[in-house]
Amino acid sequence: MNKIKCSICEKNNNVLRHKITNINDTFKLYLCKNCNHLFVHPIPKKDILENYYKNLFSLPPNQEIKVKNKIKYIMNSIDFDLNKKRILEIGYGGGFLINEFIKNNYYIEGIDICNKNKKLEQLGIKLYEGEITNKNFKPIKKYDIIIMLDVVEHIADLNSYFRKINLILKKNGYLIITTPNLNSLNYSLLGKFWNWLSPPGHLNYFSKKSINILFKNNNFDLTTFKTWKGDEDKSIVTMIFKLPFTICLYYLKFFLLIFFKKKIKLINNNSRKLDYKKVNYFNDNYGFFEKFLYNSKNGPEMFVVGKKLK
């Protein structure tokens, strides 16, 4: 037992599960034994997070293919009508979901911490820049639906974030979230070397139980819970075969850090470029092993929908 509180259920029954070293810092990840939630503690200081998002964080070059596949999955999974609804996407990034939604004549606005997307603005899409928790973010009308694809795991202060979501979402409105699934087969098999364990970018790793608690504590009823392959661009079988190599690379990076701090970023970017070539192959072949291995609960990414109660 220790005095560290779980970031979701606030119980202090947590164990130190991983220590992960990124470019300059080592982060501690604790597992809550009550709600099976993995979280970074302490929350990295503001300057570490700012430096990470400004200098080290980059969207992979295959982002477009991945997001387009994800959008297909999401469109098929949403079981309520999107017509004539006010929709907000938080963290719209490249704007791929917004583009797809306007093709279908849905009304959608977007907010992102990065610069506004000029192409979307020219199409007349209302875009905001910054965090939703900023005081100046005051949409004219409440939304019917809020979508956050792979955003929730990045948020340092979930309480103030969900307070704001409650303010801008209508009663009976829907919140759609995708996020890595800690109950996945991938995490069970790969542990520390699962590629989504990536602090300080990812600070919270949800289980079905912990996302349920997050929703309950914030006035939401969990109406849908599904899992699938998500952004994973390699087959789980490939990942297991590559595990010894991944482990060697992790420690090699650790060793190289001492001598070549600046070069690590280049190594990261290049390894992403190599992955890019394989994505199409995997997306075309996805399903063969996964059909046997994944069930509705243990895929690497969860798709959850919450309905706002009051």
Report, in Å, the least distance between residue 290 CB and Zn ion: 29
Kindly tell me which of 117 and 179 has the beta carbon lying closer to Zn ion: 179
Q: In terms of CB distance, is 36 or 117 closer to Zn ion?
A: 36
Nearer to Zn ion by C-beta: 176 or 177?
177
Among 6, 97, 147, 304, contact with Zn ion (rule: CB under 5 A):
6
Nearest by Cα to 227 from 184, 167, 259: 184
Closest Cα partner for 20 from 192, 239, 243, 252? Answer: 192
Helix (H, G, I), strand (E, B) or coil at 43: coil
Which residue stretch of 8-16, 23-31, 42-50, 271-279 sits at the interface with Zn ion (rule: CB under 5 A)?
8-16
Q: Which of residues 28-67 bind Zn ion (CB under 5 A)?
A: 32, 34-35, 37
| Beta-sheet pairing, 26-32 with 14-21 | antiparallel
Backbone phi and psi for residue 308, each to the nearest 5 degrees, phi listed first: -70, 130
Residue 37 CB, shortest distance to Zn ion, in Å, is 5
* Burial of residue 82 (number of CB atoms within 10 Å: 0-12, 13-18, 19+): middle
Give dist(CA 194, CA 152) in Å, integer.
18
Q: Which of these ranges, 7-15, 16-24, 192-200, 223-231, lies near Zn ion under the rule CB under 5 A?
A: 7-15
Structure tokens at 67: 């997001």
> What is the distance between the alpha carbons of residues 71 and 74, in angstroms, rounded to a whole number?
5
The answer for residues whose C-beta is within 8 angstroms of residue 150's C-beta and 6 or more apart is: 91, 178, 179, 180, 231
Token pair, residue 132, equals: 């939703």
CB of 5 to Zn ion, least distance (A): 8
The reply to whether 208 sits near Zn ion by the rule CB under 5 A is no
| Token couple for 219 | 């006035």
CB of 99 to Zn ion, least distance (A): 37
Closer Cβ to Zn ion, 4 or 267, answer by number: 4
CB of 158 to Zn ion, least distance (A): 12
Element (H, E) at 307: strand 301-308
Tell me whether residue 225 or residue 282 sits nearer to Zn ion (CB atom).
225
Cis link prior to 180 (omega < 30° from 0)? no
Total residues in contact with Zn ion, by rule CB under 5 A = 7
* Shortest spacing between CB 187 and Zn ion, in angstroms: 16
Ramachandran angles phi, psi of 138, nearest 5°: -130, 90
Options 4-12, 63-71, 75-83, 283-291: segment touching Zn ion (CB under 5 A): 4-12
Contact assessment for residue 17 and residue 213, using Cβ atoms and an 8 Å cutoff = no
Residue (8 or 88) nearer to Zn ion, CB: 8
Residue 149 or 213: the one with the smaller Cβ distance to Zn ion is: 213
Q: At its nearest, how many Å lie between Zn ion and the CB of residue 224? A: 22
In the complex, the smallest distance separating the C-beta of residue 8 from Zn ion, rounded to whole angstroms, is 5
Strand-by-strand arrangement of the 301-308 sheet: 127-129, 107-112, 86-90, 143-149, 169-180, 301-308, 220-228
- Kindly indicate which of the ranges 6-14, 108-116, 224-232, 240-248 contains the residues binding Zn ion, using the contact rule CB under 5 A: 6-14
Q: Within 13 Å, how many C-alpha atoms sit on residue 111's CB side?
A: 20
In the complex with Zn ion, which residue's Cβ is closer, 39 or 174?
39
Shortest distance in whole angstroms from residue 130 CB to Zn ion:
30
If the CB atoms of residues 88 and 302 are measured against Zn ion, the closer one turns out to be: 302
Q: Which residues bind Zn ion (CB under 5 A)?
A: 6, 8-9, 32, 34-35, 37
